[in-house]
Chains A and B, each alone.
Chain A
Amino acid sequence: MAVPVTIPYVRYSIRGAHWFAGRALKELVAGSGLDKARIDGLCFSSFTLGPDTAVGLTQHLGLSPRWLDHIPMGGASGIVALRRAARAVQAGDAAIVACIAADTNHPDTFRRTSANFSVFARDAVYPYGAGGANASFALLTAHYMRCYGARAEDFGRICVAQRANAASFPHALLRKPMTLEDYLGARPIAEPLRLFDCVMPCAGAEALLVMREALAEAQGLPHARILATIERHNAFADDPIQTRGGWAEDRDALYGQAGIGPGDIAFLETYDDYPVMTMMQIEDLGFCGKGEGPDFVRRHDLTAGGSFPLNTSGGQLSVGQAGAAGAYLGLTEAVRQLTGRPLGRAVRDAAFGMVSGFGMINYDRGLCSGAAILARARTA
C-alpha cells in the first residue's frame, strides 16, 4: 500500500463525484511518479457517481485497466477494496491497482441518499420519522447502553479524544477544541445521540495504490504491508438487535494470519460513523471483552499520544464523512503512520496498525464488516 491521497474535504461542493475521483487519480499519478498508463487495475467506491459505475469512470478519466471492480459497501468499501486489490496483484491480474473512493455533497444529497439507501430502508425504515442513519444508530446505542451500562460520558470520551487528534490533522473540517461538557451539552439529534455523536456529511476523496512490495521498493515509494484481512456480510442474522459485528466471528482468523495479537497493535482506526460502533469494534476485534468497551475507554487515553491511539486523524467524527471516502479514512491514515509520514500527530513506535470497516444499515443493522492488520515496510 503506497501513495495515500486525500482530496481536501468541503462541506458542500458544486462539483460531481467524477471531479473528486479525477483529482484523486491525478494525485496518485503525481505521488507515485508512475505513468498513468501503468495503472492497470481500478477499484472504486461512491454513493454519488450515479448513473455511472467504475466502468464509466475508466472512459471519463482515460484509463484502460485490465482489472476493474466497483464496491458499493459503504463503510466497508475500503477494507474490501484492499482485499480485492491485493488478491488481484497476488494473482497477477493487475500490477498496480488504484483504490479510490470519492463522493460529492450538494445541499440535498444526503436526504436523497437516506430516502433511497436500500429497498428495505425505503419500504420499512425511512417512513418512520425519516431520521436516516441517526435514528437507526440511536436504537443500537440506546440498546447497547441499557445492556452494558455505557453512559453518554463514555461515548463522549471517544468523541473528545478524536477531536483532540483532529487538532493537528490538516484535512479535518471540525478542529475546534471540544470538551466533555461541550459534547454533553450539544442538542439532541435522536435520543440518546447528540450532535457530536453524528458525522458531518461532506464532499471529498481518499485513495491509495496497491502493488507488490518489490515494485514499491523499486519505485522508491514509502509503503505499508498487508499482513491479514477479513470481511463478513450479514453476520449474526438471528441477533434481535445488533450488539456485535462480523469481526467477532473472524477476528481469530485475522490474528492467526498476521501472527500477532491485539497487544501488538500500536493504533486502531475504526469505522467511526457513531461512537457506539467504535466501542463494538474495540470489543469484537479483541481489545476487550463484549460489554467491556465502556470500561476500556474509561481506562485509556485514546489520543494519538495516549495508551490506546484511536482514529488518529480525528476520524470521520472530526474530519467529516465524505460518503464512501469515509471507509478509506483509516486506511490512508494508517499508511501515513506506518511510513512515518503522518499529516498530524505521529503514533510512537507504530510497527503494526489495525483498520476496520463497517457498512450499510440495509434495514435494522449494519451488514458489512471488515478489518486489516497492516505493518511497517521491512526496509523502513
Chain B
Amino acid sequence: MSTPLPRPRRKNPILRTRLPTLPPGMRSRFALGLTAAAARGRLELQHCSDCGAVQYPAREACHRCLSDRLAWRPVADAGELIADTRIHVSQELFFRERVPWRMGLVRLDCGANVIAHVHRDCPAAPTRVRVLNALDRAGQAVLTALPEEGDATMADDPQLRELTCDPRDRRILVTDGKTAVGQAVIDRLVEAGAEIVWVGYSEPWKKFPGFDRLESIPQVTLMPLDVTDPVSVRELAREIGFKTDILVNTAEYHRAYGIAQRAGTEVARAEMDVNYFGLLRLAQEFGPVMRGRGADGQNSAVAWVNLLSIFALANYPPHGTFSASKAAAHSLAQCLRAEMQPAGVRVINVFPGPIDDEWNQLILPPKLAPAALAAAIVKALRESVEDVYPGDIAQDWFARWRDNPKALERELVANP
C-alpha cells in the first residue's frame, strides 16, 4: 500500500521552473518492437518463428537456433523478482533528480530475464510480480515490476507517476464541450480526480445542450474557444496555457459523403479548418508553453490527446473528405509528438471507430458510445498508452490494416 500522493501545493512563482530532462532514449532499431507494443499497452517479447524460443533483450537472431524470423508476440506478465536495488547515485540527470530509484531483475515465467523498474509496493525479493510495459518520458518502452495485487494508491508511486499521465490533481483543457464525446470526456476526467477542467465552447452567445449541467460541476470552468479563430486560440493560451497539464482536443467537424456526392469544397474546407488547422493552431499556441513545463513539479505538463478517427488510417469512402482531414491531423500529430518529446510530454492519438452520434446515422452497429470513448482516453492517460483504438470496429480495422493495408483499401471499396 502506497502513501497516498498529497495534493500538489500552489506553485511559488518566484522559484525557477525546472527544465525537463529525459531518461536515456537510445535503443537499437530491432529493440523498438517493445516500444511498438508499449504504445498500445501490451507486453510483447521476441519469439522465434522457427523454434519458438522467447528472448530478451531483443536480438537480430534467435539465440537458440539462429533463425532471423523473429516476431513480437504477447507473453504472460507474471514473474519473480530475483533481486532489487535502490540506486542512490545515477549517471543521468533525469534519475539524479529522482533518486533513490528502485530497479531489479525479474525472471518472467516464460524464462526471459528482464531488468525492470520496481514499484515501491513490491515486497523485498524474492517475490512474485507482474511486469508492465509502458512508455517513459523519452517515449521509449520500459518495463516495471508491479505488486501482484495493487490497490487504489498504487498509481501514487512516484516512479509509476513518472511513466503515466494520470489525470488526478491535474489541470486539463477539453477543447470542445458541446459534443456528447466532449461532455463524456469531461465527466470521466472529473471522476478521475482532475483538479480543474477548462471546457472550451464556441459561439459563447448561446447555450448548448448540457451547458447548465457542466456549469454546475465545481471542477469545470467554461471558456470561450473557437479553434478556427487564431485570436480565440491565442487568447485562451495566454490565459491558461502556462498551467495546462493535459490538453484533450475533442473539437471535430464531421459531415458525410465523399467526392462526387457534393459540389464545391466548402464542407471539406470546414472539416480541414477544425480537424487539421484547429489542431495546428492549438499546437502553435499551447505546444511551446507546455513544452516548457515538462518538469514543473508533481503536476507538470504531461500529455496532449488528439481525437482522430480510425478513418485516418485508410479512407472510408462514404465519409471521404472527413477521412482525409483526419489523416492530415494524424500526420500533424506525429509532428507534434516529435516536437513535444524532448520535454517528455506525451502525445496520445485516439483512433475510434464510428461514434454513436448524428453524423454516423447510416453506419451499422456496433458503434462506439461516447462514454466508452471517454473511458478509453482516461485509461490511456493512466496506463501510458500512446495509440488507442477503442471499440470493436477500431480494433477490427486496426487488425486488418496491420495485416495488409492494401487488402483493407480493397475491402472498403467492395463493402464500405
Contact = CB atoms under 8 A, between A and B. Distances in A.
Interface of A: 110-111, 114-116, 119-120, 122-132, 134-135, 138-140, 142-143, 146, 187-193, 240-241, 363-364
Contact of B86 (A127, A143, A146, A190): A190
29 contacts: A115-B24, A115-B91, A120-B57, A123-B28, A123-B31, A124-B31, A124-B58, A124-B114, A126-B24, A127-B25, A129-B87, A129-B95, A130-B87, A131-B89, A131-B101, A134-B87, A135-B85, A138-B87, A139-B82, A139-B84, A142-B83, A142-B84, A143-B83, A143-B105, A146-B125, A190-B85, A192-B85, A240-B82, A364-B105
Contacts of A241: 82-83, 105, 107, 113
B14 interface: no
B-side interface size class: 35 or more
A363 B116 CA distance: 12
Interface of B: 23-28, 31, 56-58, 82-92, 94-95, 100-101, 103-105, 107, 113-117, 125-126, 136, 138, 140, 142
Given A123-B57, A140-B83, A190-B85, A131 B115 contact: no
Contacts of B113: 240-241, 363-364
Given A123-B57, A188-B88, A240-B107, A139 B83 contact: yes
Nearest to A140: B83
Nearest to A120: B57
A136 to B, nearest CB: 8
Contact of B82 (A116, A128, A143): A143
A129 B103 contact: yes
A206 B58 CA distance: 36
Contacts of A139: 82-85, 104-105
Contact of A187 (B31, B84, B88, B90): B88
B88 to A, nearest CB: 5
Nearest to B136: A127
A116 B116 CA distance: 18
A124, A134, A146, A188 interface centre (most CB from chain B within 10 Å): A124
B87 A131 contact: yes
B88 A128 contact: no
Contacts of A134: 87, 89
A114 B58 CA distance: 19
A127 B140 CA distance: 9
A130 B23 contact: yes
Given A139-B83, A140-B83, A123 B27 contact: yes
A115, A132, A240 interface centre (most CB from chain B within 10 Å): A240
Contacts of A126: 24
Contacts of B125: 142-143, 146
A124 B90 CA distance: 16
Contacts of B140: 127
A97 to B, nearest CB: 34
A116, A123, A125, A140 interface centre (most CB from chain B within 10 Å): A123
